[in-house]
Structure 1
Amino acid sequence: MSVEFLTVAMFVSLIAAIIFGHPLAYTLAAVATLFGLLDNGFNVSALFDMFANNAWGVMENYVLVAIPLFILMAQLLDRSKVSDKLFEALYVVLGSIKGGLGLAVVVVCTVFAATTGIIGASVVAMGLLATPALLRKNYQKEMTSGIICAAGTLGILIPPSIMMVVYGGLTGLKETTVGNLFAGAIFPGMLLAGLYFAYIFIRCNINPELGPPISKEEAGSYTAAQKWGMTLKSLVPPLALILAVMGTILGGVATPTEAAGMGASGSLILALANRKLTWPVFRDSCFATLKTTSMVMMLFIGGKFFSSVFLSMGGGDVVADVLIGSGMNRWLVLLIMMGIVFLMGMFIDWAAILLVTVPIFMPIAMELDFNPLWFSILMCVNLQTSFLTPPFGYALFYFKGVAPPEYTMMHIYRGIMPFVLLQLVGLAILVLFPGLITWLPALFFGN
């Protein structure tokens, strides 16, 4: 069989298996096994030797030790209710302006994103906390779901991000170390949060019925100084944790793995300070960390099996020949690659997309003389849309699970569409102004 046929058949088999609902990690490994055997003439021992080397390489990767530590930090913070206090303060500070409660959700999710990096925790926490308050103030259902789902997904982009750790472990390039990726993602994350903030403010001022303000009586008779005091009091603990994690990485004091250990320790202290550090909380956090880490690592190994077989049989060369050998303009090639990632995000989990596409697309990007760090952050921003795009956006189902019964999936689908468009606008801005990605890494790491 020709390499071209095997390349197409391998991708079609993967997509078909995912559509039928098979577990992703095992699907990646199974498809890799089938096509690896077809390619090497059913030499089982040679294929399993390659798989063993790939699995060992994953387990030897020191950077990946940060994954369970960051997940534990997120689980403890979720249970310590840090976001609750911040939302309560911003409810008073911003609630009296049009769309103010929606703006408060964006601010809380942005801060929460910089401390957790776990989408499910952000969307579920804000869904439980903010949805009743927004609906009670007659916010439109679609606007409410769009705000919470979109702002909740910032956790996958704003560092510390599990996606960045996985990405850095995949490439092995000095330009795309986890530290560089964290630094490069800060401005893009703030850009998306700013776009959400501006959209909510402008839209609710044009049509106040979408997000009416709370009454002056409910806002309370607080002075400006009291409002600032409430906000700062609720902001200081998470900001201290962010400084402990990101400050040490950007300052060159600690590696991402060491900073993750500091973050996990800091989250323990915050939970203790909030009187939430009980044995059930600690036990459940550890158990959730174990399950999530196991899932991520199984995906990582399955993805490594898939990409190693795909590249060894020449599939990467086939894709490169189609995109580069056709003589297309390099910006058109970039658009095609981003389009493929966006479309895959409608059906496949971000980790699988990353594990399948990065080994194929990164060499093409470098061949076209694109900055590896810039290209990597574009991929990550694009992958954030995978949590929002129907039919299988995870954030949509996280929200549906905690939303009031009157919410239908159509309410949620309609609500997120403007925010998906805003993410694409943000992606376009990053393409036009690459310095938004590359400036901070150059400042801190000289890259």
Structure 2
Amino acid sequence: MSPEVLTLLMFATLIVAIVFGHPLAFTLAWVAAVFGLIDNGFNVPALFDMFVNNAWGIMNNYVLVAIPLFIFMAQLLDKSRVAEKLFDALYVVLGSLRGGLGLAVVVVCTVFAATTGIIGASVVAMGLLATPALLQKGYQKELTSGIICATGTLGILIPPSIMMVVYGGLTGLKETSVGNLFAGAVIPGLILSSLYFIYIFIRCALNPSLGPPISKEEASRYTTAQKWAMTLKSMVPPLALIFLVMGTILLGIATPTEAAGMGVLGAFLLALFNRAVNWKMLKDSSVATLRTTCMVMMLFIGGKCFSTVFLSMGGGDVVADFLIGSGLNRWVVLFIMMAIVFIMGMFIDWAAILLVTVPIFMPIAMELDFDPLWFSMLMCVNLQTSFLTPPFGYALFYFAGVAPKEYNMMTIYKGILPFVGLQILGLIAIILFPQTVTWLPSLFFH
């Protein structure tokens, strides 16, 4: 069978299996096994050796040790009420503005994203914490769901990010090391956060009924000095943790894995300071970390097997010849690759997209003389959008699970559409201004 036919059949089989709801990690491995046997003439020992070597290589990757550490850090922070205290302070400080509570959610989620790379934790925490407050103050239901879902996804982009760790371990390139990816993601993450902030501010200024301010009596309960004290008291602990993790990486003091270990210690101390540490909390955090880590690593192994078989049977060459050999302008090829990732994000988990597309698209990007780090950040911003795009955006279902009864999926879909547009606008800005990605890594890592 020709590589072209095998490539089409392999992708078609994967899509059909996913549509029928089979577990993603095992689907990737199963499809890889079937087409690997077809390609090598049903040589079972050879295919088994290839899969074992791939799994062994993943488990020997020192960088991936950061994954359970960052997940554990996120679980500890989720239990330590850091986000809750920050929201309570900003509720008073920004609440008197039109759309002020929505702006407070953006700030809290941006800070929270810089301390944890777990989307579910951010969306669920802010969904439970902020949704009742916003709805009680008269915020539009669609705008409320859009704010929480969109800002909650910043955790997958703003470092420390699990996606960056997986991406860095997948490429193995010096240009796309985890440290470079972390540094390169800071400004794009802040650009998206700023776009959300500006959009909410302008929209609520033009139509105050969408996000009315809190009452003057409620806003005047605290003096200016008290507001500053509340903000500083709630902001300093997470900022200290951000410096402990990101600061040590950017200053070259620690590797991402070492910084993750320090982040766990910092998160534990914060939880201890907030009197949230007990045996049940530690047990629940540990079990949740184990489950999430197992899921990520199984996806990693299944995706690695899939991409290895796909490349070994010539699928990568088929795609590369189609895109590069077509004679299209390199920017058109870039648009096609981004469009493929965007469309896949509507239906498939980010990890699967990453594991399937990166081994194929990265060589094409380098062949077209695109900066590897800049291209990687385009992929990551695009993959963040996959959490928001209907019908299967994960953030939408996380929010639906904790939203009040008056919400339905159509209301959530309507609320998220403007923020998907802002995501695309942010992606365009990064394409037009590559320095937004490359400046910080060049400053710290030369």
Normalising by structure 2, we get a TM-score of 1.00
Aligned residue in 2 for 1:40: 40
- Residue 193 of structure 2 aligns with an amino acid whose one-letter code is A
Distance 2:221 2:279 in 1: 40
Q: Which residue does 1:129 correspond to in 2?
A: 129
Aligned equivalents of 1:412, 1:109: Cα separation in 2: 18
- Aligned residue identity for 2:308: S
Aligned to 1:387, what secondary structure does the other structure show?
coil
Letter in 1 for 2:385: T
Which shows bigger deviation, 222-231 or 59-68?
222-231
In 2, the alpha carbon distance for the partners of 1:281 and 1:63 equals: 27
Q: Is 1:210 equivalent to 2:229 in the alignment? A: no
Matches within 5 A, 1:163-242: 163-242=163-242
Q: Matched residue of 2:221: which SS?
A: coil
Tell me the CA shift for residue 226 of structure 1.
1.7
The one-letter code of the counterpart of 2:423 is Q
**For residues 243-392 of structure 1, what are the structure 2 equivalents within 5 Å?**
243-392=243-392
Matched, 1:68 2:68: yes
Deviation at 1:223, TM superposition (A): 2.2
The 3-state SS of whatever aligns with 1:34 is: helix
* Distance in 2, Cα, partners of 1:247 & 1:184: 14
Which amino acid in structure 2 is aligned with residue 198 of structure 1?
I
Deviation at 1:434, TM superposition (A): 0.1
Aligned partner of 1:413: which letter? Y
Could you tell me which amino acid in structure 2 is paired with residue 40 of structure 1? N
Separation of aligned partners in 2, 1:121 and 1:154:
12
Q: Distance in 2 between matches of 1:410 and 1:214?
A: 28
List per-residue Cα deviations over 1:38-88 (Å, max 9, x = no partner).
Answer: 111101111111101100000000000000000000000001110000000
Cα distance in 2 for partners of 1:306, 1:253 equals 36
**CA separation in 1, counterparts of 2:116 and 2:278?**
20
Q: Which amino acid aligns with 1:93?
A: V
SS at match of 1:160: coil
Q: Secondary structure at the match of 1:176?
A: coil
Partner Cα distance (2:422, 2:412) in 1: 16
Aligned residue identity for 1:338: M
Q: Residue 106 of structure 1 corresponds to which residue in structure 2?
A: 106
**How do 1:74-113 and structure 2 match up within 5 A?**
74-113=74-113
Which amino acid is 2:266 matched to? G
Partner of 2:158: 158
In the alignment of these two chains, the number of paired residues is: 446
Task: Please give the per-residue CA displacement for 1:403-437, whole angstroms capped at 9, x wherever unaligned.
Answer: 00110101100000000000000000000000000
User: Aligned partner of 2:196: which letter?
Assistant: Y
Q: Which runs of 4+ in 1 moved over 3 A?
A: none
1:422 counterpart letter in structure 2: L
Structure 1: tracts of 5 or more residues without a match = none
Q: Deviations over 1:221-263 (max 9, x none)?
A: 3222221111011000000000000000000000000000000
Query: How far apart are the structure 1 equivalents of 2:141 and 2:151?
Result: 16
Distance 1:417 1:315 in 2: 34
Question: 1:195-232: CA deviations, max 9, x gaps?
Answer: 00000000000011100000011123322222111101
Give me the whole-angstrom Cα distance separating, in 2, the residues matched to 1:225 and 1:189. 31
CA distance in 1, matches of 2:110, 2:238: 11
Question: CA separation in 1, counterparts of 2:414 and 2:85?
Answer: 30
**How far apart in 1 are the matches of 2:411 and 2:96?**
26
Question: Counterpart in 1 of 2:438?
Answer: 438
Distance 2:386 2:19 in 1: 16
Tell me, in whole angstroms, the C-alpha distance in 2 between the residues paired with 1:57 and 1:79. Answer: 34
The amino acid across from 2:60 in the alignment is E
In structure 2, distance between residues paired with 1:161 and 1:205: 33
> CA offset at residue 25 of structure 1?
0.1
- SS of 1:22's partner is coil
Structure 1 CA distance for aligned equivalents of residues 197 and 281 of structure 2: 33
- Name 1:147's counterpart in structure 2: 147
Listed one character per residue, the Cα deviations across residues 169-203 of structure 1 (whole Å, up to 9, x for unaligned) are 00000000000000000000000000000000000
SS of the equivalent of 1:391 reads coil
Find the counterpart in structure 2 of residue 401 from structure 1.
401
What's the CA shift string for 1:312-353, capped at 9, x where partnerless? 000000000000000100000000000000000000000000
Q: Which amino acid aligns with 1:213?
A: P
Partner of residue 50, structure 1: 50
TM-score scaled by structure 1?
Answer: 0.99
Give 1:111 deviation, angstroms. 0.4
- Output the amino acid matched with 1:329: N
CA distance in 2, matches of 1:48, 1:361: 26
The one-letter code sitting in structure 1 at the alignment partner of 2:100 is: G
SS in 2 for 1:49: helix
Q: Which amino acid aligns with 2:10?
A: M
The one-letter amino acid of 2:278's match is T
Q: Give CA deviations for 1:81-137 in whole Å, capped at 9, x if unaligned.
A: 100000000000000000000000000000000001100000000000000000000
Cα deviation for residue 368 of structure 1 reads 0.2
Q: CA deviation at 1:276?
A: 0.1
CA RMSD after TM alignment = 0.5
